[in-house]
Structure 1
Amino acid sequence: MAVAGAPALAADAQAGKARALQCQACHGLDGKSKLPEAPHLAGQNETYLVKALKDYKTGARKDEMMNLMAKPLTDKDIANLAAFYSGLKP
């Protein structure tokens, strides 16, 4: 039984770290952005990250770069990225 608001897939933070290599240019590998237009992701709520990435993927949330980056992500990729970034120290 799924818990409301919880990510549906079992996530793998290590796989998320590997997938995050493409995110580091804007968000930093440690999830702490050096760019004012890119938010910090370290320590962010996992459920929020899953929703945000899915919304970027579908276009429900608009940002040209993030829509492009999220488009090829699978649900598993999204769960793994969210697990990785939420587990980092803010």
Structure 2
Amino acid sequence: MNKILTLAAFAAASVVSLQAAAAGNAESGKLLVEKYNCASCHGKDFNSPIDPSYPKLAGQHQDYLQHALVSYRRGNDGMNGRTNAIMSAQAKPLSDRDINDIAAYLHSLPGSLVVRK
């Protein structure tokens, strides 16, 4: 019985740990967006891009940002990749943890996106 409880506790702790890792670290994400100079295109507040065709990132859904960065990292591989040359080059060196951290940071920022019901 003790073995089963120990295994159950370990499994629960593992799930919590994986969820925390997937959630990302906003402070690390802030350092990464500065390192990769994301503001040069998406605006200093990530809410006012230099070109209207560039997306506003501040306040965007975290899972969307993660998916987009993973797709850019894949590039034109035929498997749901995105083909923007600039973003593909920016995303190529990012690890999964980097992507989670960047997404957590950008999601935490106040944005002007409107959700319609």
Same fold by TM-score greater than 0.5: yes
For the residue of structure 1 that corresponds to 2:102, the secondary structure is helix
**TM-score if structure 1 supplies the norm length?**
0.86
Match of 1:68 among 82, 89, 111: 89
Q: Equivalences for 1:4-19 in 2 at 5 Å?
A: 9-19=22-32
What does residue range 1-90 of structure 1 map to in structure 2 within 5 Å? 1=15, 9-21=22-34, 22-32=37-47, 33-59=49-75, 60-90=81-111
Q: Deviations over 1:51-83 (max 9, x none)?
A: 000000011111010001000011111000100
Cα distance, 1:30 vs structure 2: 1.8
In structure 2, the CA distance between the partners of 1:54 and 1:7, relative to structure 1 (3 Å rule), is farther
* In 1: Cα distance, 2:21 partner to 2:66 partner: 10
SS at match of 1:9: helix
Give the number of the structure whose alpha-carbon radius of gyration is greater: 2
Which structure has the higher relative contact order (CA within 8 Å, separation 6+)?
1
CA RMSD, 1 decimal:
1.8
TM-score of the superposition, structure 2-length normalised? 0.67
Instruction: Please say if residues 57 and 106 of structure 2, whose CA atoms lie closer than 8 Å, have aligned partners that are also in contact.
Output: yes
CA separation of 1:63/1:10 partners in 2, compared to 1, >3 Å: closer, same or farther? same
Q: Retained in 2: the 8 A contact 1:7–1:50?
A: no
Instruction: Output one character per residue of 1:29-64: Cα deviation in whole Å (capped at 9) or x when no partner.
Output: 321113223110001000000000000001111101
Residues 56 and 62 in structure 1, CA contact (< 8 A), matched pair in contact too: yes
Greater percentage in helix: 2
**How many residues get paired?**
87
- Where structure 1 has 5 or more consecutive residues not aligned to the other structure, the ranges are none
